[in-house]
Amino acid sequence: MTLKVMSGNYAQSYAACLARVQVISAYPITPQTSIVEKLADLVASGELPAQFVKVESEHSAMQVCVSASALGARTYTATSSQGLLLMHELLHWAAGMRAPVVMGVVNRSVAPPWSLGADHADTMSQRDTGWIQFYAESNQEVLDTVLQAYRLAEDPAIRLPAMVSEDAFYLSHTLEPVEVPDQSLVDSFLPARDARAVLVPGVAARLGSFTGPQQYVEFRREVAKAMERVPEALRQIEKDYQSLTGRFHGGPVEYYRAGDAEAVLVTMGTMTTTARTVVDEMRAEGHRVGLAKLRLFRPFPATEIRELARRTDRIGVVDRSFTFGAAGAAATEVAAALYSGPHHPVLSNFIVGIGGREVTPNHIHAMFDRLLAGKGPEVQWMDLPLPPEEVAHG
Amino acid sequence: MAKLTIPAPELMRAGHSACPGCAPALAMRLMLKGLGPRTVVSVPACCWTVIDTPYPTTALGVAMLDNPIESTGASISGLRAAADALGIQDLNILGFAGDGGTADIGLQALSGMLERRTDAIYAMYDNEAYMNTGVQRSGSTPLGAWTTTTPVEDGARGKAEPKKDIMGIVLAHRPVYAATVNPSFPEDFVRKVEKARVLRGPRFFHIFAPCPPGWRYASDRTIEIGKRATDCGIFPLYEVEEGRYHVTRKGGALRPVSEYFQAQGRFSHLGPEDVARVQAQVTADWERLLRLENGT
Amino acid sequence: MGATLEIRFHGRGGQGAVVASELLAQAAFLDGKMPQSFPFFGVERRGAPVTAYTRIDDHPIGIRTSITTPDIVVVLESSLLRTQPVTDGLREDGLLLVNTRNPAEELMIPVPVRRAVVDANQIAVAHGLGSPTMPIVNTAVLGALVGASGVVSLKALDQAIDEFVPARRAENRAAAEDGYHAVHVVEANTPFTPPVPQAVGPTLSLPEGPVATLSSELIHTSAWRTLRPVIHLEKCTRCNFCWKFCPDDAFTFDEKGYPVVRAEYCKGCGICAVECPPRVIEMVEEA
């Protein structure tokens, strides 16, 4: 185990290298680029004996990964924002092909207007593609999660692709200490890929196929069932990882001081770190507040959210993107998860941090205050000038 | 019994779902005869997606991978990368795509595959329109042809634009080998595939692929129409190896293109002046090809 | 409110079964009815069996499923009677209309229903619709349907053809008129017990993985053809051209090297007959 100061992007690169990926394919886009530049170095120096296919688009990058995966290779790619949107069609292919591709995504806003800042609109737009989605809070979590994602994606009972998302700049270009596990330790955690149900040269078989309505339903149901197995498999994988490294990131949802909380914010990614500090401060002032960090967004950890609702009366869901015509994606999921459960706490949705706008301690504080004060508007855009009617009531 | 002039083993199976008289089906049969069983085929959305029959059956005696319509070039790059990474030797990698999936929506991925020198064969079977969706014009539809999106009405005479020159586009990337083939000439077809098989680097085939419903002719005329296309110079047979041209069929003087047009309903509205214009272009293209072969 | 009238069309890709179902719906609308028509969304290939549906009612149709208990079944080509379960679900008081040269009394069908026949091939060819090997029979058959059932008025059918058929409108109208007059109807009689239709595909279970591993040779495509090749072996030179040019891999050889048609796969394209140098292959109509 070595402690190194590195960016979130390099944490992605080193994790892919430790996972002994065999085929890498990528196309440059800010702020993902340094991930693949580092991998190009590692391949060029011979440190990582992999094929790096430099492609003419993100669409082709994902196609290379899907096709390479079909022959049994362990594959990696990374992208962001527009690049992820261009991949969209192939994301469905990866899941339908049951190709355990792992992808790093640097969460960045979507144009127009052009902007480079952190924003979850890119990955939220992909939430229905059949990919497992992780959102990381720290560079350490990035590295650990990429390794765990391979174990999960390649589990014979799952065989689904997984993306590990990190916020633009707040992780991608932020340097912080990361513990890098030894290769031998990673090898014992992550064995070579189980390549069942892939094409074998010389054997007549078709991967992909077309079907009528009857069989198509069965294909989709198989993907749905594989998704259902993810939370339990992840818990076991984290347990194994913890026994090797001592680190544990909380499974599908990481709770922070939520056990006896009156009000809990549901967070994702880097905003969680700031929120922890605010929780500690508010606790010191006597407020019973806490956090539930969605580490996994697909499959959505509905069971954990229902459990949270059993213990707390006020839940605020913080979304770093907005689904036009509805609400924040996480808020919608939380509401849906609670509907069928017995506990229906007050629910608010805070839209914050879009397009790289900072999520400050003041924002977190304000969200807790509003949540504790009572039932506010269901969806609240933070950090915008208050409209007159809200000023009047505030 | 006469000696077989093409290999006996069948790697394309009966029972497939091609229309009667389908040249793309025959093209796949000949392609796999030339490549043999150690082949992985990547097939985008095209007629062959359907021809290969529904899950859980397949009409190929080799491994086949589906890919979306525009990414065949990337798919074969991925297959080769995996074969190299996994140490899989002696594997032919074939992309088998239609003209729309190659010359239109798939051009970017094809260009990428050629530029990065992927060691694979890309074959475009050219039935000169989007046939799987019911005969819409593609960039590869020839001048004057009727399709459902280039109708023949009072003010319209089929496609108003000439056919995209896919061989020219491919050759600009300097592949190690590129050839035109036509199922009406199976010996030439298989010989070129066998030649390409042992070369390394990007290789390309432009396959002439008549379509009875789309070109509006009776299903028994597929081979005959293919012969006419080559013998009138509309689809000359040649190969380009490391930049050197070689015309592989020269049947003396070219037959008039009208013999080719007459056989197909999609050209039945063309008048003598339309045919004369195409004839002039075909003659000029043929002479240019001969000059390229002679290096003059 | 009267019951919905349900009509099911069976044809082959390229014959116009789907267009027939649409024209019938248009004609019904011109008669003041509320129609619905749609094709079965399968793999439609020239020659492959296809199904299309039309519903007609005085009121808007309140169902969007395929038709399983039709009042009328229309068969655009008689060879489909052997290979497709065309009479499945046909009501006892229903009507079966078949395009055939044969008399209605000789139709071998498993249900005792009214039956009607028309030689629509002959009518279509006489009006220059399609080719002799692939006549486009839909308008002649629709005329016969009107003659046998009165399901729409002839005037409405004529108008629908004039408005919605893309080409050869006059010829198609004349074909419909001829079909109307030529159709011959006989009343219900005792059923004929047919052989079980051959399986056209493997039985499927739930997929255990996304990889397809069975051979397409489990699927027989003989039902696609209307003509089949007959090889006059006494004049065969064993040149292999029939095998070489077959897109369907439907030839094999006997121990002496003579070609043998794999009848379960031949789609009857006729390439072998055209390309045979000594011309010893003849395409004959399926019985």
Judgement on whether residues C123 and C247 belong to the same structural domain of the protein: no
Judgement on whether residues C163 and C48 belong to the same structural domain of the protein: yes
Contact between chains at A205 and C210 (C-beta distance less than 8 A): no
Judgement on whether residues C234 and C174 belong to the same structural domain of the protein: no
Judgement on whether residues C151 and C23 belong to the same structural domain of the protein: yes
Reduce the DSSP state of residue C188 to 3 states and report it. coil
**Residue B56, preceding peptide bond in cis (omega within 30° of 0):** yes
Task: Tell me the shortest Cα–Cα distance from B287 to chain C, in angstroms.
Answer: 30
Structural domain contains residue C208: no
CATH number belonging to the domain at A2-195+205-244, selected among 2.40.160.10, 3.40.50.970, 3.30.70.1140, 3.30.70.20:
3.40.50.970
Structural domain contains residue C205: no
CATH number at residue C263: 3.30.70.20
Contact between chains at B20 and C47 (C-beta distance less than 8 A): yes
The total number of structural domains in chain C stands at 2
Contacts of A25 in chain B (CB under 8 A): 77-78, 81
Tokens of B218: 């009776």
Mutating which of B1, B4, B31, B228 best tests the C interface, going by the most C Cβ atoms within 10 A?
B1
For strand A263-267 and strand A289-294, is the pairing parallel, antiparallel, or unpaired?
parallel
Judgement on whether residues C123 and C231 belong to the same structural domain of the protein: no
Whether the CB of C131 is below 8 Å from some CB of chain B: the reply is: yes
pLDDT band at residue A394, thresholds of 50, 70 and 90?
very low
Percent share of chain C, pLDDT over 70: 90
Distances (CA, A) of B198 to A173, A174, B113, B176, C237: 47, 50, 19, 11, 35
Alpha carbons B23 and C248: distance in angstroms, whole number: 10
Question: Which residue segment(s) compose the domain that C13 sits in?
Answer: 5-186
Judgement on whether residues C162 and C238 belong to the same structural domain of the protein: no
Structural domain contains residue C198: no
Task: Tell me the shortest Cα–Cα distance from A252 to chain C, in angstroms.
Answer: 27
Task: Tell me the shortest Cα–Cα distance from C184 to chain B, in angstroms.
Answer: 31
pLDDT band at residue C33, thresholds of 50, 70 and 90?
very high
pLDDT band at residue C201, thresholds of 50, 70 and 90?
very low
Q: Report domain A253-393's class.
A: alpha beta
- Count the residues in chain B: 296
Structural domain contains residue C192: no
Contacts of C215 in chain A (CB under 8 A): 204
String of DSSP letters for B62-109: SEEEE--TT-HHHHHHHHHHHHHHHT--S-EEEEEEEHIIIIITTHHH
Alpha carbons A196 and C48: distance in angstroms, whole number: 36
Contact between chains at C43 and B54 (C-beta distance less than 8 A): yes
What is residue A196's predicted lDDT score, i.e. its pLDDT? 73
What is residue C216's predicted lDDT score, i.e. its pLDDT? 94
pLDDT of residue C117 exceeding 60, the answer is yes
Alpha carbons B170 and B64: distance in angstroms, whole number: 24
What is residue B221's predicted lDDT score, i.e. its pLDDT? 97
Of C169, C186, C203, the domain-final residue = C186
Structural domain contains residue C174: yes
Domain ranges of chain B: 23-294
Tokens of B95: 């992309």
What is residue C196's predicted lDDT score, i.e. its pLDDT? 43
Structural domain contains residue C202: no
Q: In this structure, are residues A13 and A42 in contact, taking their beta carbons and an 8 Å threshold?
A: yes
Whether the CB of B224 is below 8 Å from some CB of chain C: the reply is: yes
What is residue A392's predicted lDDT score, i.e. its pLDDT? 52
pLDDT of residue C2 exceeding 70, the answer is no
Contact between chains at C207 and A205 (C-beta distance less than 8 A): no
Degrees to nearest 5, angle at CA A375 with A374 and A377 = 135
Task: Tell me the shortest Cα–Cα distance from C153 to chain B, in angstroms.
Answer: 31
What is residue B3's predicted lDDT score, i.e. its pLDDT? 87
Judgement on whether residues C265 and C178 belong to the same structural domain of the protein: no
Structural domain contains residue C195: no
String of DSSP letters for C40-55: --S---BTSEEEEEEE
Alpha carbons A143 and A138: distance in angstroms, whole number: 9
Does the structure's ipTM exceed the value 0.85? yes
Tell which wins on pLDDT, C32 or C196: C32
pLDDT under 70: residue ranges of chain B: 1
Q: In this structure, are residues C104 and C115 in contact, taking their beta carbons and an 8 Å threshold?
A: yes
Structural domain contains residue C182: yes
Domain ranges of chain A: 2-195+205-244, 253-393
Helix (H) / strand (E) element for A296: namely strand A296-298
- Count the residues in chain A: 394
Contacts of C207 in chain A (CB under 8 A): 215, 218-219, 222
Nearest by Cα to C88 from C10, C142, C145: C10
pLDDT for A325-371, tens place per residue?
999 999 999 999 999 999 999 999 999 999 999 999 999 999 999 99
Judgement on whether residues C51 and C169 belong to the same structural domain of the protein: yes
Q: In this structure, are residues A104 and A166 in contact, taking their beta carbons and an 8 Å threshold?
A: yes
Contacts of C204 in chain A (CB under 8 A): 214-215
Mutating which of A69, A98, A209, A222 best tests the B interface, going by the most B Cβ atoms within 10 A?
A209
Judgement on whether residues C31 and C173 belong to the same structural domain of the protein: yes
Alpha carbons A300 and A230: distance in angstroms, whole number: 10
pLDDT for B85-137, tens place per residue?
999 999 999 999 999 999 999 999 999 999 999 999 999 999 999 999 999 99
What is residue C65's predicted lDDT score, i.e. its pLDDT? 87
Contact between chains at A67 and B85 (C-beta distance less than 8 A): no
Alpha carbons A171 and A136: distance in angstroms, whole number: 9
CATH architecture under which domain B23-294 falls: 3-Layer(aba) Sandwich (3.40)
Tell me whether domains A2-195+205-244 and A253-393 share a fold. yes
pLDDT for A183-194, tens place per residue?
999 999 999 998
pLDDT for C61-105, tens place per residue?
888 888 999 999 999 988 888 888 899 999 988 999 999 998 888
Tokens of B117: 């020198």
What is residue B252's predicted lDDT score, i.e. its pLDDT? 83
Helix (H) / strand (E) element for B23: namely helix B23-35
Tokens of C34: 């509320």
Q: In this structure, are residues C206 and C168 in contact, taking their beta carbons and an 8 Å threshold?
A: no
Judgement on whether residues C32 and C126 belong to the same structural domain of the protein: yes
Percent share of chain B, pLDDT over 90: 94
pTM over 0.95: no
pLDDT for A216-253, tens place per residue?
998 999 999 999 999 999 999 999 999 999 999 999 99
Averaged confidence pLDDT in chain C: 88
Burial letters for C8-27: b for 16+ Cβ neighbours within 10 Å, e otherwise?
A: bbbbbbbbbbbbbbbbbbbb
* Residues 220-239, chain C, touching B (beta carbon < 8 A): 220-221, 224-225, 237-239
